[in-house]
Structure 1
Amino acid sequence: MQDSGSPPALPVVPTLTASSPKSIPTPFPLLPSMVSADFCTAAVLISSGAVLGRVNPIQLLLMTLLEVPLFACNEFILLSLLGISDSGGSLTVHAFGAYFGLMVSRALRQPRVDERGEQQDAGCQPDAFAVLGTLYLWIFWPSFASATTAQDGAEPWAVLNIYFSMAASTLATFVLSPILYEEGTLQAAQLQDAALVGAAVMGMAGEMLLTPFGALVAGFLASHLSLLGSRFLSPILSSRLKIQDTCGVHNVHGLPGVLGTLVGTLLAGLATADAYGGRMENVFPLVAQGSRTASSQAWWQLCALPLTLILASLGGSLTGTLLRIRALRSTPKSPEMENKVLREVPEDGLNPEASDEELGGSTLA
């Protein structure tokens, strides 16, 4: 019998531990599909940056409708058929979106119009928007890129690796940018690019066992690759390959995406069960099941790079050719007028180039 002076026994309440998060049904069954849709949106956004200001809204909408199925096809081949580990999208999002947009830009090139509009396109991004975008990137991008790794305690690895990489790429931009450019002053847009570069290079390797030092090195190298590409490679793309990259997506997304794929390939080849422990099932499930060795997984990771580049290049070329149809093209008065219509919003609904007489005589209906 229970002693009358002792307190009553409390019922035993089962507790949930980190080792068994799948024992209860998830309240968001559509969460993986929503994350995949967000990744697809990011790829389309990257592609749009290569042709921004050179296409009308109808062409942009058609490009989006054609890119989404191709993105889904590439993602299905890489992640489901080939068993590639690319949780943050270095390959499926950044590299695919960048080279798809670049090939669309190449197919849409109009020599006389583009040559007259190149000077007009330069420096059109206000610093205030660049600073605001940089803050949003630092706050939201690590959790966005690690959304698919949020299981069994795997998320902190990706978040920390991305933060370390973004910090290193930003620091490298402060050091190298004044050296490469004659004005010697760091632009706000370059800080935004540095944050994007650090996140792009960690897309594939973010959830892998990279260590903080490895993430810092990867972000440092990615920033140097982006700045050197912007200084020396972009003029070659424009003059030799006839590719006009309006927002510099090749240096901010394309090259870091390729570098991130190479980093992920190296880490896949070095993966061991002792180092990853229970995490191996989440990062490299085929290796954990014994279907592949670490070296064969690294080989498949590397083979996914040319496959993605081929799909993006062919799809972008065909899409750009379709967008050249005369019925889809607008006929603005000048390339400057087209840029203003698609990029700038007049204050208070007034034309910024209107004369004083026109402004004084204008009335609101």
Structure 2
Amino acid sequence: MIWNTNLRWRLPVTCLLLQVALVVLFGVFVRYDLDADPHWIGRQGDENTTSDMENEFYYRYPTCTPPAPGLPCGVQGLLPQPLAKGAVAVAWATGRPLGLINADFCVGSVCVAFGAVLGKVSPVQLLIMTLFQVTLFSVNEFILLSLLEVKDAGGSMTIHTFGAYFGLTVTWILYRPSLHQSKERQSSVYHSDLFAMIGTLFLWMYWPSFNSAVSKHGDAQHRAAINTYCSLAACVLTSVALSSALHKKGKLDMVHIQNATLAGGVAVGTAAEMMLMPYGSLIVGFICGIVSTLGFVYLTPFLESRLRIQDTCGIHNLHGLPGIIGAIVGAVTASCASAKVYGIKGLANFFGFDGFKTSWDSSMQGKFQAAGLFVSLAIALVGGIIVGVILKLPFWGQPADENCFEDSVYWEMPEEPKSTALHPEDSTLKPAEP
């Protein structure tokens, strides 16, 4: 089949339509939070706030900046709240302000899913995929956090598990049997690996702030940062050790160092706020370093050859499997929570047992945590199938198999440098004499 990759009208029209839709949605539904409103001065008196430095900005901005520099195109802040007890109102608009941190989390989930399809789809397909995914992300987050009342501060379930398996399902539907025709362009080069390591370093440094960004001020936020750091540290050591052990000459693989070293931050996300304890965080990082590195070596080739899942960036190993591990760790940690560890008041306050969940106990919370994992997987798989079928339609400007991973299909590329010699006789390279 001959694909038409000319996006001259399709891409601009799609971008402009989405931009107009965002402007309308923001104009109708999005408002400044009270801490960003001129009424803040009046609120200071009502809440006995004596200094402008007590504004939410000075707590949240340092943790808002690192998570994702993407545009706040997530629409979860616009999604419905229950209009009555026990009812889910599938309708827009509640007056709930759009949280930029939560929108960044939504964008993070989209970036995860992109990793499965990069190089094989067109910009228009990515835009369409984003539009559907942010909506599904919002639905999934609403069910987990508002209905099931699960704890998922770092988004092991809502961001990583959902994003990974949504992207993997889409790429499974878009399977290309002749992708080997352009496979050689998918491999990395030295300078690309160096630039990628810069991204890895920034992600590693700021992951504690990512996992603690939406936690309550005080001990929960402090605990989330400590647990994340410990898990990341253990994951680095394990990934480096295993990468060297799996190579015949003991060398390190840049793919493992760029990716598997971050898996600990993914896996500790759900339990980041909980009393996981530093040694527990180290164990989580140790397990994820092993699972992620082995996944890149053995699982990725198996998925492509046997299950027809062409995972371009290995998101299954960095986000999918660690996300599932994180959900399990969160469910177990919640089930083991006790008044002895948290304190009677701390346990009730942390899990919300002093609210409408007065009949709940730690065991019930653990069950709901586990249910959240299955809900995330179900929405990701079903949504991925539907979106994949839509993206498979032949008019989105997708590249041919032999043109995948080729930048020049959609980007204007600089011309190759020409020789400075205007004429053959001007060249300093003389032909060999006979």
Report % sequence identity: 39
The CA distance in 2 between the partners of 1:314 and 1:190, in whole Å, is: 30
CA shift at 1:155, angstroms?
Answer: 1.0
The answer as to 2:376 corresponding to 1:308 is: yes
| Counterpart in the other structure of 1:12 | none
The CA distance in 2 between the partners of 1:160 and 1:32, in whole Å, is: 28
The answer as to 2:276 corresponding to 1:210 is: yes
CA shift at 1:94, angstroms?
Answer: 0.4
The answer as to 2:393 corresponding to 1:325 is: yes
**Aligned pair in 2 of structure 1 residues 117, 148: CA closer, same or farther (>3 Å)?**
same
**Aligned pair in 2 of structure 1 residues 23, 156: CA closer, same or farther (>3 Å)?**
farther
RMSD: 2.7
Q: Is the 8 A contact 2:113 2:168 kept in 1?
A: yes
**Aligned pair in 2 of structure 1 residues 360, 265: CA closer, same or farther (>3 Å)?**
farther
Relative contact order, higher structure (CA 8 A, sep 6+): 1
**Aligned pair in 2 of structure 1 residues 226, 303: CA closer, same or farther (>3 Å)?**
same
The CA distance in 2 between the partners of 1:250 and 1:333, in whole Å, is: 23
Equivalent of 2:408 in 341, 345, 353:
341
| Counterpart in the other structure of 1:273 | 339
| Counterpart in the other structure of 2:184 | 119
Q: Is the 8 A contact 1:56 1:342 kept in 2?
A: no
Equivalent of 1:164 in 219, 222, 230:
230
CA shift at 1:151, angstroms?
Answer: 1.8
Equivalent of 2:262 in 196, 199, 205:
196
Equivalent of 1:299 in 367, 374, 399:
367
- For each residue in 1:287-344, what CA deviation from the matched residue of structure 2 results, as whole angstroms up to 9, or x when unmatched? 77523111111111111112111110111111111111111033459325x523379x
| Counterpart in the other structure of 1:233 | 299
TM-score (norm 1): 0.84
1:230-269 equivalences under 5 Å are 230-269=296-335
The answer as to 2:159 corresponding to 1:93 is: yes
- Give the SS at the match of 1:127: helix
The answer as to 2:414 corresponding to 1:350 is: yes
The answer as to 2:131 corresponding to 1:53 is: no
**For structure 1, which segment, 126-135 or 54-63, has the greater mean C-alpha deviation from structure 2 after superposition?**
126-135
CA shift at 1:124, angstroms?
Answer: 5.2
| Counterpart in the other structure of 2:149 | 83
CA shift at 1:176, angstroms?
Answer: 0.6
- Give the SS at the match of 1:350: coil
The CA distance in 1 between the partners of 2:325 and 2:110, in whole Å, is: 20
- For each residue in 1:83-126, what CA deviation from the matched residue of structure 2 results, as whole angstroms up to 9, or x when unmatched? 111111000000000000001101111211x2323333123582
Q: Is the 8 A contact 2:120 2:398 kept in 1?
A: no
The CA distance in 1 between the partners of 2:401 and 2:319, in whole Å, is: 33
- Give the SS at the match of 1:209: coil
TM-score (norm 2): 0.71
Q: Is the 8 A contact 2:239 2:290 kept in 1?
A: yes
Q: Is the 8 A contact 1:85 1:204 kept in 2?
A: yes
**Aligned pair in 2 of structure 1 residues 287, 191: CA closer, same or farther (>3 Å)?**
farther
Q: Is the 8 A contact 2:234 2:286 kept in 1?
A: yes
Q: Structure 1: 5+ residue runs without aligned partners?
A: 1-21
Q: Is the 8 A contact 1:166 1:199 kept in 2?
A: yes
**Aligned pair in 2 of structure 1 residues 65, 193: CA closer, same or farther (>3 Å)?**
same
The CA distance in 2 between the partners of 1:98 and 1:76, in whole Å, is: 18
The CA distance in 2 between the partners of 1:70 and 1:89, in whole Å, is: 15
Amino acid at match of 1:190: H
- Give the SS at the match of 1:149: coil
| Counterpart in the other structure of 1:221 | 287
- Give the SS at the match of 1:154: helix
The CA distance in 2 between the partners of 1:330 and 1:360, in whole Å, is: 40
Q: Structure 2: 5+ residue runs without aligned partners?
A: 1-46, 61-95, 424-434
CA shift at 1:279, angstroms?
Answer: 3.6
If each structure's helix is expressed as a fraction of its own residues, which one has the higher value?
1
